[in-house]
């Protein structure tokens, strides 16, 4: 059954929104206190990473750590990911997207990333051959995402077991120390893959009414 279409034009801009240039970027959704963001930006100085975190306390912790380990290619963003992505990102702009240990939404499956209409919009922002890395310590979450990739999104992916000594996030460290199985899906957008948002330009702080008028 086709998923309903995401209503991108209805998204209000995040508070204090600032537009970005239309150059290749990487993004992390739910960056937490920024452990992975700092690791990645340090290891890949040639790539710009926007690390998005909604929770104020975690964002401030990331900002503080970034001040101690300044990386010019890391841009912490305090915002809800959905409106920020709609207002900031251009079609086919994203090289890599990281969603590491998201809330499994046990009581609201429709809010899991690959079950959301928004996922189609996210795919439109991904470059051809761009990648989404989705990690979880919950086997059922990974299994459901695999099923959605095969049946709904029709995207190629590789499932990987995360090494016991991996330490990308605070959650990852905790889960692996407990001996839990941590897995990730490396999802690739093939050349020629189409979405209904391929021509949708960023709203760049416009109100929904302005977006509809245009």
pLDDT at site 164: 96
pLDDT given at position 198: 97
Q: What order do you get walking across the sheet with 25-29 strand by strand?
A: 74-78, 49-53, 25-29, 94-100, 126-136, 183-188, 157-161
Look at residue 166 and give its three-state secondary structure: coil
Q: What is the pLDDT of residue 94?
A: 98
pLDDT of residue 211: 56
DSSP state of 107: T
Q: What pTM value is reported for the model?
A: 0.95
DSSP 24: -
Residue 109, Cβ density class (10 Å: 0-12 exposed, 13-18 middle, ≥19 buried): exposed
pLDDT of residue 170: 95
Q: Give the pLDDT of the chain (214 residues) as one tens digit per residue.
A: 467 899 999 999 999 999 999 999 999 999 999 999 999 999 999 999 999 999 999 999 999 999 999 999 999 999 999 999 999 999 999 999 999 999 999 999 999 999 999 999 999 999 999 999 999 999 999 999 999 999 999 999 999 999 999 999 999 999 999 999 999 999 999 999 999 999 999 999 887 656 555 4
Which domains are assigned to the chain? 22-213 (3.40.50.150)
Do 89 and 123 form a contact (C-beta atoms < 8 A)? Answer: no
């Amino acid at each position: 059954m086709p998923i309903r279409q995401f209503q991108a034009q209805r998204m209000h801009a995040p508070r204090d929104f600032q537009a970005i240039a239309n150059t290749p970027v990487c993004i992390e959704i739910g960056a937490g206190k920024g452990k992975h963001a700092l690791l990645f930006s340090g290891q890949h100085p040639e790539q710009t990473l926007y690390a998005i975190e909604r929770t104020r306390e975690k964002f401030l912790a990331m900002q503080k750590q970034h001040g101690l380990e300044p990386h010019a290619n890391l841009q912490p963003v305090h915002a809800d990911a959905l409106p920020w992505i709609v207002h900031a990102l251009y079609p086919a702009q994203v090289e890599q997207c990281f969603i590491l240990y998201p809330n499994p939404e046990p009581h609201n499956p429709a809010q899991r990333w690959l079950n959301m209409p928004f996922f189609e919009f996210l795919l439109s922002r991904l470059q051809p051959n761009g990648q989404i890395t989705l990690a979880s310590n919950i086997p059922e979450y990974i299994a459901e995402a695999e099923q959605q990739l095969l049946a709904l999104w029709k995207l190629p992916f590789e499932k990987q077991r995360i090494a016991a000594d991996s330490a990308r996030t605070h959650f990852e460290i905790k889960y692996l120390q407990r001996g839990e199985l941590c897995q990730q899906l490396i999802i690739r957008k093939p050349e020629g893959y189409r979405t209904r948002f391929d021509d949708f330009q960023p709203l760049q702080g416009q109100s929904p009414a302005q977006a509809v008028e245009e």
